[in-house]
Chains A and B, each alone.
Chain A
Amino acid sequence: MSLAWYLLLLPLAVAALNFLLLQKLHTVAALISTVSSVATFGIAYSLLGSTASPEPYHWISIGKHSLDIGITLDKLSTGMMIVVTGVGMLVHIFSLAYMKDDSAKARFFTGLSLFMFSMTGIVLANNFIMTFIFWELVGLSSYLLIGHWYQKDSAAEASKKAFLCNRVGDFGFMIGILLLWNITGTFTFAEMALPSGLATGVLVTALLCIFCGAVGKSAQLPLHVWLPDAMEGPTPVSALIHAATMVAAGVYMLFRVQFSFPESHIFENNAGTIISWVGGITSLVAALMATQQDDIKRILAYSTLSQLGYMVMAVGLSSGEAGMFHLFTHAWFKALLFLGSGAVIYACHHEQDIWKMGGLLKKMPITGMTFLLGYAALIAVPFVTSGFWSKEEILSAAYHHNKALFCIAVFVAFLTTFYMTRLFVVAFLGKTKSDNADHAHEVGPLMYLPLVLLAGMAILSATKIGGLDIAHTLSAIRPEHHEHPSIVLLVSIGTLVFGLAAGFILYSGKTKDPLSLPLFRNRFYVDGFYDNFIVKYFQDAFAAIVHFFDELFINGLFVGGISRGAQGIGLLIRRMQSGNLQTYAAFLSLGVLIIIYLIVF
């Protein structure tokens, strides 16, 4: 069996083992999961750049259509596997320390292993049906992990919200898969080709339906509401699932579609325009919301939304390479930022409000410095950080294709610098603002080691590291270097300077937020709108109709009707069982009379 199959099956086996046998042996379960994640990283590393896809396993055939379970190995998938298993491995190690005292550690690591299995499935899938199956599986494992602390109401509701929002997108995704199947006649990526004379409208519809899946999973407008709430889950989960890998699956899947039609420039039509605008607006709106959040994890969550918007925009602009490149670099530094915030939260006794932190750079030098590197990568400090190179690709793609989106992207870059500076200045510099932050001290090596490694990747992942140029090995991911217009460089340096200046001037030495923008703080009232309008009028009205139908037909006529009928007949017949001998005798004689009547006449 090819090595690639182990990549897929090892996490599944570990999840099953943990779930079935090791629910009580917490430390053993945690260690097994971690070891398996290290092993999968080893396998993924050895497969990097390999293009020898193993023979697919035949699954089902319906009529003349057959469906395989197969693995695609190419530059795209093996490169993405490095991200998934690499971040996954470091998150596993970090979790060993972060979840040390959790009473359900085994369940947590079972969830992580299940997630690793599902995510590997999405990345390696060679057909759309497999993608969809694993797509749902990551949704499930995300649900389980967000709701890890299900005793807390907010966590239970956040997990439900995430699942439901994803379902909305997934319905579109399913329709899109079937439409694309109808167009190309195959589910397998490698065999896809557009027939000649295809109406553009049909293709656009199919692509937009497929994009619905990405809207749900990658939390684009208008289904973005679940991602910030998903921060109720444990922080390592936020780092792995809701920053680095799962939410990027939408972008990966879109790029896989683009990659499957190399000749056709499949996004150069209205679908691409809509996708890029959705991405651009998401990145803008999310960045605006991030400027007014107080919860350290929520700021990072909105930042993730905003960066995902960038990637989606790039895909929509037919520059999926730039999007994937940004996905690749973003995964490392955003996982770093999340794990860093996890370390901060851990050290501050589960304090998440940045206005109650402060001065942490001195108290936690390693965490602080690594966070600083992640911050530098996110705001794209020119020439030294990985984030700069990938952001540059996206900005120049926008510059070439759509000037309006370029302006939005530049403004988002400014906002990114601004809100990250706000976060860093308030939480890490200045004086401590609460007792919890006063007592904070550096976390243990099990926690800062992953941070240091991720910090290394945050700086270096776009450049050559000692003969290993991961980003270049994935030339599918890393676009061939072409000259960017100098205006892009100028503008990005400008936004950086302005953002830093604005952030420092506004927030340096402050103890509470000098800006108050309720519109941004309340997330454009989108959640409120969903709760008070969509839920109230649509969901509740629909629920009332369904309830009425249920009560009247199902309960009243079918199930209830049959049972009530039986009950009525029973009541009637029961009268005959009077227990009185003479009644029986009377019935007997009546019966005899009837029989005689029937025989004689």
Chain B
Amino acid sequence: MPSLNHYLLVAGLLFAIGLTGVVLRRNIIVVFMCLELMLSAANLTLIAFSRFYPGANGLPDIHGQMLVFFVVTVAAAEVAVGLAIIVALYRTRQTIYTDELTTLKG
């Protein structure tokens, strides 16, 4: 039976992998996927706390679970908008590599 710490460790790893991907990968779609990974890490943390700190009635804490649903919904919307932006970006700039998208360089 894994403990809370195991879950938190996995969530931390997921977050770190996601952040590394966001910061280091050039392909903007991969960056986008890594961003989702970070969201999942957050979700996992929420679920774990919800499971290991039950409410007064013995059931898992409802607030954590509810927040996860919010995150999933917002992430879905975000994916829709984000992918659309990437498509539009590719159409105008013919590239999805971040190091070629530095128009705002000072």
Contacts and interface: CB of A to CB of B under 8 A. Distances in A.
Interface string B19-35: 10011100000010000
A576 B102 CA distance: 12
A486 interface: no
Interface string B28-56: 00010000000000000000000000000
B23 A582 contact: yes
A514 interface: no
A589 B23 contact: yes
B103 interface: yes
A585 interface: yes
Contacts of B23: 582, 585-586, 589
B101 A581 contact: yes
B104 interface: yes
B104 A577 contact: yes
B19 A574 contact: no
Contact of B105 (A577, A585, A586, A589): A577
Interface string A552-596: 000000000000000000000010111111100110010000000
Contacts of B19: 589
B16 to A, nearest CB: 10
A579 B22 contact: no
A586 B21 CA distance: 11
B102 A579 contact: yes
Interface string B71-98: 0000000000000000000000000001
Nearest to A575: B106
A581 B105 contact: no
B106 A577 contact: yes
Nearest to B35: A585
Nearest to B106: A577
B31 A582 contact: yes
Interface residues of B, number: 13
A448 B7 CA distance: 118
B22 A574 contact: no
Nearest to A581: B98
Contacts of A589: 19, 23
Given A585-B22, A585-B23, A586-B23, A580 B106 contact: no
A579 B31 contact: no
Nearest to B23: A586
Interface residues of A, number: 11
Nearest to A573: B106
A584 to B, nearest CB: 9
A579 B103 contact: yes
Contact of B98 (A574, A576, A577, A582): A582
Contacts of A586: 23
A384 to B, nearest CB: 91
A206 B67 CA distance: 94
A579 B24 contact: no
- From A579, A582, A585, name the one whose CB has the most chain B CB atoms within 10 angstroms: A582
B77 to A, nearest CB: 21
Given A585-B22, A586-B23, A578 B98 contact: no
B101 A578 contact: no
B99 A580 contact: yes
- From B23, B99, B103, name the one whose CB has the most chain A CB atoms within 10 angstroms: B23
B22 A578 contact: no
B45 to A, nearest CB: 14
Contacts of B105: 577-580
A72 B103 CA distance: 78
A265 B99 CA distance: 94
A191 B45 CA distance: 98
B102 A574 contact: no
Contacts of B24: 582
Contacts of B106: 574, 576-579
Nearest to B31: A582
Contacts of B102: 578-580
- From A574, A576, A578, A581, name the one whose CB has the most chain B CB atoms within 10 angstroms: A581
Contacts of B98: 580-582
Contacts of A582: 22-24, 31, 98
Nearest to B25: A582
A574 B105 CA distance: 9
A579 B101 CA distance: 7
A577 B104 CA distance: 7
Nearest to A583: B23
- From A574, A577, A580, name the one whose CB has the most chain B CB atoms within 10 angstroms: A580
Contacts of B31: 581-582
Contacts of A577: 104-106
A72 B17 CA distance: 97
Contacts of B22: 582, 585
A99 to B, nearest CB: 63
A394 B74 CA distance: 111
A152 B97 CA distance: 69
A589 B21 CA distance: 13
A600 to B, nearest CB: 15
- From A574, A576, A578, A579, name the one whose CB has the most chain B CB atoms within 10 angstroms: A579
Interface in A280-338: none
- From B24, B31, B98, B103, name the one whose CB has the most chain A CB atoms within 10 angstroms: B98
A342 to B, nearest CB: 70
Interface string A241-283: 0000000000000000000000000000000000000000000
A580 B24 CA distance: 11
A582 B99 CA distance: 9
Contacts of B101: 579-581
Contacts of A581: 31, 98, 101
Contacts of B99: 580
Nearest to A580: B102
Contacts of A585: 22-23
Given A579-B102, A582-B31, 7 more contacts: A574-B106, A578-B106, A580-B102, A580-B105, A581-B101, A582-B98, A585-B22
6 contacts: A576-B106, A578-B105, A578-B106, A579-B103, A581-B31, A585-B23
Q: Return the 3 tightest CB-CB contacts between A and B, nearest first.
A: A577-B106, A579-B105, A579-B102
